[in-house]
Amino acid sequence: MQRLTRRQATLLQHIAASDYPVTGKSLAATLDCSVRTIQSEVARININEKVIQSTNRGYIAPSRDAVSKLLDAPNEESASTEWLILKLISKNDGTLGVDDIAEKLYMSSSSVEREIKNVRRIVEAHSLKLVRKQGSLSIEGNEHDKRSLIGSLVSQEAVNSMSRYGGLSEYFDDMDISRVRTCTLSVIENQGHQIKQGYAQNLITSIAVALYRMRHGLHVPDPACELSDREAERSIASELCSMYARHHDVAPTQGDIDYLATLLIGQVESRKPHDDAPSQGKSLQVLEGVRSIVEDVFGSYQLEIDSEQALRNFSVHVQALIERREEAQIKDTDALENIKLNCPFIYELSVLIAWRISEMFGVIVSDGEVGFICIHVGMLLLSTLENDKVRILLACDHYQGISQRIREALDRRYQDVALLAEIDIEGLRSIDSEADVIITTRKSLCKSSGSVLISPFFTADDQVRVERIIDAAVQNRKNSRQRALLEPFFTDGLFLSTDEPMERDNLIRKMGTLLQQEGVVDDEFIDLVLKREELSSTCMFDLFAIPHSVEMNAKRTMVCVALCHKGVAWNGPTIKLALMIAVCHDDRRRFLEVFDTIVKACSDRERSDRLSKSTSLQEFLDILVNGPTSVEQPFSWTAPNNIF
């Protein structure tokens, strides 16, 4: 299912809510944009189904069901224009010119020309060339690389789809993707194999791309590589091609069959256990290699591997990665974006580990593969990821087991976020405690904003009140910890606000120079930050950047803040906020918290916008810790007795 951007959703809501046609001029005034932008947004909303109709009086949306279906889907940021242009070029290779694309996307030809530069960058990243012949755009290169590019396009489509295979259906509009999936699974099962856990979507996507290209007469001319020891994969590929040829007018080449076989390597396994000594020897080598990489990277941050089994599972994944062809790598980046947002330090560790894997085993690691590596790294760190828990004091009557029943209910519901203590309230007139929350059945004891009065029966209404106060306590504890954690690493001398136009590397050098002037880092620091940028962009969610060195060699840990009001192009996106972290070796364990805290805080779009408009370091820190909206300040308790 298609997902709308916020502007597209607002536009559709205005049209659907009106009893009369709405003019483009009226919509442009409402959304503060041009009429041409309205036309472009309408075209994108209608890309899969004509929900909005244009009449001589304005726009209407006659189908309430179609409108509801789009508006009920979670909103997403729009697919970038360069990907939309690339999709048109790839599906109409050599038949569309700039003016044709501009007409289809309701853009000016000059705007399309500007975007072509970004399209060329994406194409060249797949070892292909974007060429212009007689005014028409086409992509040149070998068939393997073209299929890899289309796989990336399909993954981009999937971001805007609610269905796991929605991106496939939207790109391959002349193919029955559900049938491709069913046939693929059936053939693999008939051959006594199964798809490895977690690889189904990637494999089906790669196979669908290959079949689509065959259907349009685009074949792999020669066998891809030596497959004499891959009889199972070749047999599955041969049966798949035969089945597809029977239902469609296609004639797969031996190169096509071998290509499909290479896609299967590392992604399917026999359903029968077998004892393969050479394979086990290779697995052991991979395990020891992965162990050395993880121990080295974890050791840099004073971290330990939490589970030997998790390490073995990770090595199995790495072995499959080594065996797969580059075009068969996982391209879906949903897991990567999720972890980058919710567990940024795990993402940072995973980038470093992926780099080391690439160097040790000589493989290219795609962004989609990094997402899977993130999951394995998280499993290796489970014990390290636990947060401090809220302290709850239960002060309830014991008559008829009231206190015990309430405690059991709280334990079941909040054991992951809270530590629970209980006191005898007979004859008690007041409470002195270190608790964040006091839950009581006595009105006389409910005297603080941090206490909540409940009934002896712990009803649904009681549970709602308790949940609210615990949520507030969790947020207050989090804010207090964040402020205490972050404030020592910020100083006015490292707070830069500028209207000067600047490029990424120049800003990195300027921030690095400020850190040098403060005596925080040595001369080599800036080069190490630029080296980290080469591994993977430190721009996060197109909102902010968090540049840092590949080594923790600062003299002390500090953060330099840069607010660039005219924006900085950072590997594509233009951002206005950058935070450069310099980490001292002795603080390497704290880097986990500092990095996570900053990234999570800045990832909120509203908060990031307010941060970029801060006028002082103090205002910046207040927004960084408390967010766009104020949070009730934590209440204070004296603690003569240590209940916990």
Rounded mean pLDDT of 176-193?
89
By the 8 A CB rule, do 167 and 161 touch? yes
Q: State which H helix or E strand residue 421 sits in.
A: strand 418-422
So what's the pLDDT on residue 565? 93
Tokens of 636: 């204070």
434 vs 395: which has the higher pLDDT = 395
pLDDT band at 642 (very low <50, low <70, confident <90, very high): very low
| 534 & 552 share domain | yes
pLDDT band at 125 (very low <50, low <70, confident <90, very high): confident
Domain that holds residue 541: 490-613
**pLDDT digits 0-9 by tens, 256-294:** 898 888 888 878 888 876 545 445 556 788 899 999 999
| 500 & 609 share domain | yes
User: Does 637 fall in a domain?
Assistant: no
**pLDDT digits 0-9 by tens, 386-433:** 445 678 888 887 777 788 888 888 877 776 666 667 776 655 555 556
CA distances from 535 to 70, 351, 354, 360, 527 (A): 38, 8, 10, 15, 13
Longest dimension (CA), the chain: 93
By the 8 A CB rule, do 138 and 94 touch? yes
Beta bridge partners of 577: 563
Residue 62, SS3? coil
| CATH assignment of the domain containing 430 | 3.40.50
pLDDT band at 169 (very low <50, low <70, confident <90, very high): low
| 356 & 425 share domain | no
User: Does 636 fall in a domain?
Assistant: no
Average pLDDT, the chain: 81
| CATH assignment of the domain containing 286 | 1.10.1790.10
User: Does 260 fall in a domain?
Assistant: yes
pLDDT band at 581 (very low <50, low <70, confident <90, very high): very high
pLDDT band at 235 (very low <50, low <70, confident <90, very high): very high
| 494 & 607 share domain | yes
| 396 & 477 share domain | yes
pLDDT for residue 138 is more than 90: yes
pLDDT for residue 630 is more than 50: no
| 379 & 297 share domain | yes
388 vs 190: which has the higher pLDDT = 190
Which of 158-167, 474-483, 537-546 shows the lowest per-residue confidence on average (mean pLDDT)? 158-167
* CA distance linking residue 277 with residue 391, whole number of Å: 54
pLDDT for residue 637 is more than 70: no
pLDDT for residue 628 is more than 60: no
Domain count, the chain: 6
Q: What are phi and psi of 525, to 5 degrees?
A: -60, -45
Beta bridge partners of 136: 97, 133
Long-range CB contacts (< 8 A, 24+ apart) of 34-40? 36/106, 36/107, 36/108, 38/11, 39/106, 40/105, 40/106, 40/107
So what's the pLDDT on residue 223? 59
So what's the pLDDT on residue 585? 85
Structural domain ending residue among the three candidates 270, 299, 320:
270
| 18 & 114 share domain | no
User: Does 628 fall in a domain?
Assistant: no
| 261 & 182 share domain | yes
357 vs 230: which has the higher pLDDT = 357
By the 8 A CB rule, do 509 and 547 touch? no
228 vs 219: which has the higher pLDDT = 219
| 362 & 402 share domain | no
**pLDDT digits 0-9 by tens, 484-514:** 778 889 999 999 999 988 899 999 999 999 9
| 13 & 38 share domain | yes
User: Does 620 fall in a domain?
Assistant: no
| 608 & 551 share domain | yes
CA torsion, ordered 69, 70, 74, 80, to nearest 10 deg:
150
By the 8 A CB rule, do 339 and 346 touch? yes
So what's the pLDDT on residue 577? 96
Nearest to 562 by CA among 550, 546, 573, 549: 546
C-alpha triplet 81, 140, 332: angle, nearest 5°: 50
